[in-house]
């Protein structure tokens, strides 16, 4: 029996008392409910970034935060919470109130963590709702100049002639750079040893010095090293050629059919965030991404805007979870 039905069955005095109780409960529930979209945002919004400051995901999220501040007239502040393969920051976001005032920056790394850390205290598609995409950026496959391979075909032949002798660097287990290398191994049938580092700087230093033979890295970060001849670019990882490295073929063009592994960034919110708030944020972000000056500026940095509805972005995240789960399981990759 509902509380209201119970009240109707009582005496007149009891009925009045019960109605007062019901009315009070209703008012309390209204007071504690998330604010409707027309009142949002009315204070500072936090964007939790589960990476350290300075990386490409952090840089582009800061850029969109500043644009959102100007569009919605409230501060959007970055809160860097790196550690445990993005788990620390993502968990903090999952535990935040679902009112739109705590958002999570999400990237491909979190989609690999879904499989690498199955016992973590949250699940991406259960404890968050998709808001919007931000950017998509290619990676570039580079080798040290001492490696006797001038193109992808020659590198594959070299790797197959020396199984387990070549290695590749990454910024850590489950990172974009790691998964790009594992996808390459999976699609080419090569045996190349993964060398994880605690961050991309150490990995980058060792590919330049020749301590490791190969690495996948972000195009803007590695472009100057390629132009200076300190590393040799063999291919990029997207569907189309990079605007920064137009003379470098994609891996698909170079003969690795179906290869695609990009660095993408988007926004999610704690599950239960009002749909009206999600829609407002999605509209504001997509309007920013559609501006010609934003598109031009980001293209110079090797990134393209990832304009999607919440549903489209959610489907993208789910497909990435499934894609990397297949690679992780096929290559028997274990989390740290």
Q: Which pLDDT score, from 0 to 100, does residue 37 have?
A: 58
CA–CA dist 49, 298 (Å, integer): 20
Q: Where in the chain is the domain with CATH 3.40.190.150?
A: 40-137+262-330
Q: What is the mean pLDDT of residues 70-75?
A: 95
CA–CA dist 109, 183 (Å, integer): 14
Which residues 6+ apart lie within 8 Å of 301 measured at CB? 137, 220
| Percent of the chain predicted with pLDDT > 90 | 75
Structure-token match 């500072």, residue found: 44
**Six-digit token string for 133:** 């995409």
Say which range, 169-178, 228-237, 294-303, has the weakest mean pLDDT.
294-303
Question: pLDDT per residue over 13-25, tens digit each?
Answer: 444 444 444 344 4
- Collapsing DSSP to helix, strand or coil, 89 comes out as helix
Pick the closest to residue 174 from 131, 112, 119, 124 (CA basis): 112
Contact 251, 266 (CB under 8 A): no
- Indicate left, alpha or beta for 210 from its phi (over 0: left) and psi (-120 to 50: alpha): left
Say which range, 80-89, 123-132, 153-162, 165-174, has the weakest mean pLDDT.
80-89
Q: Where in the chain is the domain with CATH 3.40.190.10?
A: 139-236
Q: Which pLDDT score, from 0 to 100, does residue 170 have?
A: 94
Query: 227-230: long-range contacts at Cβ-Cβ below 8 A with a sequence spacing of 24 or more?
Result: 229/145, 230/145
Question: pLDDT per residue over 281-331, tens digit each?
Answer: 999 999 999 999 998 988 888 889 999 999 999 999 999 999 999 999 999
**Tell me, which fold does domain 139-236 have in CATH?**
D-Maltodextrin-Binding Protein; domain 2 (3.40.190)
- E strand or H helix at 128: strand 128-137
Q: Which pLDDT score, from 0 to 100, does residue 300 have?
A: 84
**Six-digit token string for 143:** 């080798």
Structure-token match 């400051």, residue found: 53
Does 83 or 67 have the greater pLDDT score?
Answer: 67
Q: Which pLDDT score, from 0 to 100, does residue 216 have?
A: 97
Name the DSSP class of 51.
Answer: S
Say which range, 58-67, 74-83, 325-334, has the weakest mean pLDDT.
58-67
Question: Buried b / exposed e across 228-254, counting CB within 10 Å, b at 16+?
Answer: eebbbbbbbbbeebbebbeebbbbbeb
pTM here is: 0.84
Provide CATH code, domain 40-137+262-330.
3.40.190.150
Which residues 6+ apart lie within 8 Å of 50 measured at CB? 81, 82, 83, 86, 87, 88, 89, 90, 93, 104, 105, 110
pLDDT(188) > 70? yes
C-alpha separations of 311 from 100, 318, 322 in Å: 17, 11, 17
**Six-digit token string for 153:** 């075909």
pLDDT(1) > 60? no
């Amino acid at each position: 029996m509902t509380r209201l039905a119970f009240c109707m069955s009582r005496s007149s005095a009891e009925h009045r008392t019960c109605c007062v109780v019901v009315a009070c409960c209703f008012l309390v529930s209204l007071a504690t409910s998330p604010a409707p979209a027309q009142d949002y945002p009315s204070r500072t919004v936090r964007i939790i970034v589960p990476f350290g400051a300075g990386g490409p995901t952090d840089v582009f999220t800061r850029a969109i935060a500043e644009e959102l501040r100007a569009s919605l007239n409230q501060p959007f502040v970055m809160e860097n919470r790196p550690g445990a393969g993005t788990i620390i920051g993502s968990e903090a976001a999952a535990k935040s109130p679902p009112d739109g005032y705590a958002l999570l920056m999400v990237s491909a790394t979190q989609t690999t963590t879904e499989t690498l850390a199955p016992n973590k205290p949250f699940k991406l598609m259960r404890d968050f709702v998709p808001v919007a995409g931000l950017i998509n950026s290619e990676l570039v496959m580079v080798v040290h100049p001492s490696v006797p391979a001038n193109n992808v075909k020659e590198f594959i032949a070299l790797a197959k002639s020396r199984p387990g002798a070549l290695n590749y660097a990454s910024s850590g287990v489950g990172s974009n750079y790691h998964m790009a290398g594992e996808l390459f191994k999976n699609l080419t049938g090569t045996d190349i040893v993964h060398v994880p580092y605690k961050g991309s700087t150490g990995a980058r230093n060792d590919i330049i010095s020749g301590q490791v033979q190969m690495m996948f890295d972000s195009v803007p970060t590695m472009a100057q090293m390629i132009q200076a001849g300190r590393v040799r670019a063999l291919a990029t990882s997207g569907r189309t050629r990079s605007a920064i490295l137009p003379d470098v073929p994609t891996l698909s063009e170079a003969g690795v059919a179906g290869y695609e592994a990009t660095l993408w960034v988007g926004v999610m919110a704690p599950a239960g965030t009002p749909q009206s708030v999600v829609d407002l944020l999605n509209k504001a972000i997509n309007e920013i991404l559609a501006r010609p000056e934003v598109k031009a500026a980001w293209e110079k940095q090797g990134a393209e805007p990832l304009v999607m509805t919440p549903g489209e972005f959610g489907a993208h995240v789910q497909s990435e979870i499934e894609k990397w789960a297949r690679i992780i399981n096929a290559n028997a990759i274990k989390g740290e």
